[in-house]
Structure 1
Amino acid sequence: MKRGRRAAGVLIVLMGVFLLINSPLVWKWMYPIKYQNEILEASRRYQVDPFLILAIIRSESGFKPDNVSKKGAIGLMQIMPDTAKWIVEQAGFQPKQKDYLYDPKMNIHIGTWYLSYLQQRFQGDVVKTIAAYNAGPGKVNAWLTREQWNGERDTLGDIPFSETRLYVQRVLYYHDRYRNIYSKEMQ
């Protein structure tokens, strides 16, 4: 009799865990959105999927605007200062402060403009765009030209740089998660 109650108790706990894991509130807690207004504004302005922006920010900085990488990339979208300078010139941005890459809104706009630029350069291909955001468009073009990688999602294992390979996998994973959780709310 005790064994039956114990088994029933374990079953109830497992069912509760299953229901909790599939709860939208739990998923939103695991995959929060910060800077939603700034992301949506940049998404509309530069015609970039907001879930891609979220995935990049989550992968790059974990939503920490003061994050600086070992290589010197700054802010939410981890933009290198030289790249930022080029983007500011190309896009006609007019930052009001010297350390503008730490400003979440400016960082999101600069990074999203760059994503838009890369998407145009790679004919809207999200996978190649993500790889280029990490490794640079020149490296991605070289891999494609030398046929080291065909640019497809199902051949990410062929990307010559392990850092870029893992980065693209991570961003695509977060992209899928954010899209599944928030697709009805962020249209």
Structure 2
Amino acid sequence: MRRLPVLSLALALALALVAPAAQAELWAYVDNAGVAHFAAQRLDDRYQPVMSVGARPQRVPGKTDHGRSLLTWLEFAPEVKAVLPYLREASQQTGVDLELLKAMIAVESGFKADVVSPRGATGLMQITAIAAEQYATPAEARQPVEQRLRTPRSNVLLGARMLADLIKRYGRIDAALAAWNAGETAVRKAGGRMPPIDETQAHVQMVLELYWALLQRSQSQQLQGMQFHSAPVSQQ
């Protein structure tokens, strides 16, 4: 019998607990002991959105599936290891979790530094020329935009600054990722939340699922437990 990845099993159990709420949300964090904590709402700053509950998971056409083979590849691939120093540097500078940056690059470009999308987004984190101008440091701004976008270190640093700015602006990782994918106008029209765009919802879910799988793996090779928390009852 094929075993589910530990975190996927934990997510499945948590989803079952909140399934009666048709469009509920699932928030979670993994503590230092390797225990996954789930809640139907954000109880404190440790919790981050994992996924919306009530719709079947979707996949983005043309994107790489994030099963066990991808997790293994991310751990051993030379092109991933070559970028890790830049991910650590970007994480330290911006506060964006290294595993989130890794998940984004895996979904956005598959760690191919020369990829250009039909919309002109370039490089590891698929950044546009406009974003490259907006988030460049004075030293970076003296370089040609194309060079900035195609140089792995510059691309990662630019992308991390942009993502940190979006997370700060919207206060939610899922909304920040949606703004990255669909544009800030779409997120603003949705009230600062996930817009009703199928491709964007599938894209964000892919990044978040891979992020949590990477986070769990980095903190513990085996999930030590799972806790589902309810919001405290207010005293009248």
Q: Which residue of 2 aligns with 1:130?
A: 177
User: C-alpha separation between the residues in 2 aligned to 1:183 and 1:103?
Assistant: 30
What TM-score does the superposition give when structure 2 sets the normalisation length?
A: 0.58
The secondary structure found in structure 2 opposite 1:111 is: helix
Distance in 2 (alpha carbons) for counterparts of 1:108 and 1:27 = 20
Q: CA deviation at 1:138?
A: 2.2
In structure 1, give the amino acid aligned to 2:190: W
Q: Could you say which residue in structure 2 is the equivalent of 1:10? A: none
Amino acid at match of 2:88: L
Q: 1:119 aligns with which of 167, 189, 192?
A: 167
Instruction: For 2:155 and 2:197, locate their aligned partners in 1 and report how far apart those are by CA, in whole Å.
Output: 26
Partners of 2:196 and 2:87 in 1: how far apart? 31
RMSD of aligned alpha carbons: 2.7
**Dislocated runs of 4+, deviation >4 Å:** 25-28
Distance 1:49 1:144, change over 3 A: same
Q: Conserved in 1, the CA contact under 8 Å of 2:132 and 2:148?
A: no
- 1:105 is matched with which residue? 153
TM-score by length of 1: 0.72
In the alignment, is the contact (CA less than 8 A) between 2:91 and 2:97 conserved in 1?
Answer: yes
Larger radius of gyration: 1
Partner of residue 119, structure 2: 71
Q: Which has the higher contact order (CA 8 A, sep 6+)?
A: 2
Shift of 1:141: 1.2
Show CA shifts across 1:23-61 (max 9, x none): xx9775243361111101100101111111111101100
Give the match for residue 183 of structure 1: 219
Aligned partner letter, 2:129: P
Larger proportion of strand: 2
Provide the rounded CA distance (Å) in 2 between the counterparts of 1:26 and 1:165.
Answer: 23
Task: Provide closer, same or farther for how the CA distance between residues 60 and 141 of structure 1 changes in structure 2, counting only shifts above 3 A.
Answer: same
One-letter amino acid matched to 1:29: T
Q: Is the 8 A contact 1:66 1:74 kept in 2?
A: yes
- Going from structure 1 to structure 2, the CA distance change for 1:101 and 1:26 (only over 3 Å counts) comes to closer
Q: Matched residue pairs, number? A: 153
SS at match of 1:144: coil
Any conservation in 2 of the 1:59–1:170 contact (CA below 8 Å)?
Answer: yes
Does 1:167 pair with 2:210?
A: no
Unaligned runs of 5+ in 2: 7-67, 222-236
